[in-house]
Amino acid sequence: MQDPGPAPASPDFELDLLAVPKAVPELRRALSAHAHAYRPLPDIQLCVSELLSNVIRHLGEGTPVTVRVTGAHGNRIRVAVTDPDPRAWPLLRRAGGDDETGRGLALLDAVSLRWGIEQEADRKTVWCELGEG
């Protein structure tokens, strides 16, 4: 976990939703509708998809989450997904060649400048920062 740095500004994009598989492509489409503000859009879509998929896999379908994208007009974009379980932390692992899962955080780690977790008493936020492309 890395230091989150200064508190993020008000989000440019914020959406409360239930973490279900059909929400992943819907979220990607919603971000595309705001494409004029987001660069690099494919990396942002990848990050939100992986973070939302982690919630579905590890906390269960139907978990309420909040997705935020902040800083669309600065030199860094912050992507954050907040869920109601402060104890279930994502772990970066090395997936083997035959593993069908376990690559999501490795992808996020590869495309982001940094990422981390903010824990509160009743929730956690997993975030990453991308350089504006």
- Could you give the domains of the chain? 13-131 (3.30.565.10)
Structure pTM?
Answer: 0.82
Q: Which of 129, 122, 118, 131 is nearest to 90 (CA)?
A: 118
pLDDT tens per residue across span 80-126? 999 999 887 766 666 555 545 556 788 888 899 999 999 999 999 99
